[in-house]
């Protein structure tokens, strides 16, 4: 039986992970659950799965949770903060860590799991965006196994041949075709995006996701971050990754080979599929996802992305091509801009402007230092926040 820590258990990925785990009580045991500030949901999850540890992001939330658990599950140890997150990521009784904390906040606990040589189920793309080379080097050094959870990266992983880490040429791969739904504004006129509200941006046509990732999907920054993540996961360059709009979200991504073959992974848009795949790999287990009905789908459409409508995608390509700390700057500025948009402090079209301004103001440097990366992250957030205030 495999012991599992779920980082971000009350978010959409965390909830889906626990759904799959609950279907296989003979294979998996929940050792630790963590949440940001959602005491109510973590309390209910703790009652259902009875982990050894429950972790909240701040001390007050942890205190509230501990008080509620005292009378019903006093043996559950409640921790708080980054120290608590890192602790439950490296526990000896934990085999797998689901990294589903949103944003750069998920980097340190994910690295903690890597340092402990765990199987890391990586749903937090920002960890690789911020620390790419360092993260992959640490995984190799400590024997950690990284399996991607994003539906697109998991699809690519399933379509890739063995040995791809040695280079595409050696295994006959020509390029990756990274699919994107296009979000809710795929056909919206560029001039109409100025009036977009947070509610509209969070109304994804295919996927049920958190607010931050939903906005990223609407700006297509989410796809830009996925391009950066794919470069690190699959040891390739950005010019080998082509984004393809596919509004049905049935083909989750494709790999093109030098002989002209294109392998695609298909399925209903349900995150339990990649979660179940990564949990059981190299085996297969039931996920609870319904069978794909090709007759109901009837058609599959593909389009080229409009970089004028979605400048965030172009900015992401620029950042990974520039390298060094540029992706970390991009990510930090995006997190600040998206938060400001969700708080209604800036408009939707101001998001890429803030990111571009921050990238232009902070020079990217080459680094393998975690401290330098974290310092750049802080610096970029300050600059982006200042720009946000100027736009109010």
- Integer Cα distance of 176 and 254 in angstroms: 6
Output the pLDDT for position 103. Answer: 81
**Distance separating alpha carbons of residues 272 and 276, to the nearest angstrom:** 6
pLDDT band at 259 (very low <50, low <70, confident <90, very high): very high
Domains and CATH numbers, the chain: 2-148 (3.40.50.720), 155-297 (no CATH), 323-391 (1.10.1740.10)
The single-letter DSSP state of residue 163 is T
Q: Parallel, antiparallel, or unpaired: how do β-strands 77-80 and 53-56 relate?
A: parallel
Note the pLDDT of residue 303: 95
In whole angstroms, what is the distance from residue 243 CA to residue 313 CA? 9
- What's the residue count for the chain? 392
Q: Are 353 and 335 in contact (CB under 8 A)?
A: no
Residues 6+ apart with CB under 8 A from 241: 175, 176, 178, 227, 230, 231
Cβ contact 156:234 at 8 Å:
yes
Question: What mean pLDDT value characterizes the chain?
Answer: 95
Q: Is the pLDDT of residue 392 over 80?
A: no
- Decide if 118 contacts 102 (C-beta within 8 A): no
32 and 55 in contact (C-beta within 8 Å)? yes
pLDDT of 4 reads 98
Per-residue pLDDT tens over the stretch 8-38: 999 999 999 999 999 999 999 999 999 999 9
For residue 246, pLDDT over 70 is answered with: yes
Q: Residue 125's pLDDT is what? A: 86
Strand pairing class (119-122; 96-99): parallel
Task: Report the C-alpha gap between 134 and 138 in whole angstroms.
Answer: 6
Q: What percent of the chain stands above pLDDT 90?
A: 89
Query: Which range among 89-93, 146-150, 188-192 shows the weakest confidence by mean pLDDT?
Result: 188-192
In 158-230, DSSP assigns E strands to 173-180
pLDDT recorded at residue 210: 81
Order of strands, sheet of 241-245, starting from the edge strand that comes earlier in the sequence: 241-245, 173-180, 251-257, 262-266
- pLDDT score of 183: 86
Q: In angstroms, rounded to a whole number, what is the distance separating the alpha carbons of residues 152 and 158?
A: 10
Strand extents, DSSP E, 149-247: 173-180, 241-245
Per DSSP, the three-state class of 200 is helix
Return d(Cα 149, Cα 13) in angstroms, integer.
Answer: 9
> pLDDT at residue 295 above 90?
yes
């Amino acid at each position: 039986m495999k012991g599992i820590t779920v980082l971000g258990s009350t978010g959409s990925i965390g909830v889906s992970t626990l759904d799959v785990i609950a279907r296989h009580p003979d294979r998996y045991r929940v050792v630790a659950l963590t949440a940001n500030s959602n005491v109510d949901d973590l309390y209910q999850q703790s009652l259902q799965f009875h982990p050894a540890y429950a972790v909240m992001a701040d001390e007050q939330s942890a205190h509230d949770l501990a008080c509620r658990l005292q009378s019903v599950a006093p043996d559950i140890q409640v921790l708080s903060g980054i120290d608590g997150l890192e602790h439950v990521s490296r526990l000896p009784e934990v085999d797998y860590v689901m990294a589903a904390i949103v944003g750069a906040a998920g980097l340190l606990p994910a690295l903690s799991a890597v340092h402990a040589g765990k199987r890391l189920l990586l749903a937090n793309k920002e960890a690789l965006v911020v620390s790419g080379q360092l993260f992959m080097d640490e995984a190799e050094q400590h024997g950690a196994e990284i399996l991607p959870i994003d539906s697109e990266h998991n699809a690519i992983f399933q379509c890739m041949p063995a040995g791809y880490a040695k280079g595409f040429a050696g295994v006959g791969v020509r390029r990756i075709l990274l699919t994107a739904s296009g979000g809710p504004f795929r056909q919206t006129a560029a001039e109409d995006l100025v009036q977009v509200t947070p509610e509209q941006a969070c109304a994804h046509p295919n996927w049920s996701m958190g607010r931050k990732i939903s906005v990223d999907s609407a700006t297509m920054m989410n796809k830009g971050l996925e391009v950066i993540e794919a470069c690190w996961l699959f040891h390739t360059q950005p010019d080998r990754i082509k984004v393809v709009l596919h509004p049905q979200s049935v083909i989750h991504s494709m790999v093109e080979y030098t002989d002209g073959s294109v392998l695609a992974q298909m399925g209903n848009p349900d995150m339990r599929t990649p979660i179940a795949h990564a949990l059981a790999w190299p085996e297969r287990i039931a996920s609870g996802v319904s069978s794909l009905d090709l007759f109901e789908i009837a058609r599959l459409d593909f389009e080229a992305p409009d970089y004028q409508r979605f400048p965030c995608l172009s900015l992401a390509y620029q950042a990974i091509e520039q390298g060094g700390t540029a992706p970390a700057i991009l990510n930090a500025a995006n997190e600040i801009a998206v938060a400001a948009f969700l708080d209604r402090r800036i408009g939707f079209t101001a998001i890429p402007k803030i990111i571009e301004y921050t990238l232009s103001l902070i020079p990217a440097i080459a680094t393998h230092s975690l401290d330098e990366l974290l310092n750049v992250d802080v610096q970029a957030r300050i600059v982006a926040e200042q720009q946000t205030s100027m736009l109010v």
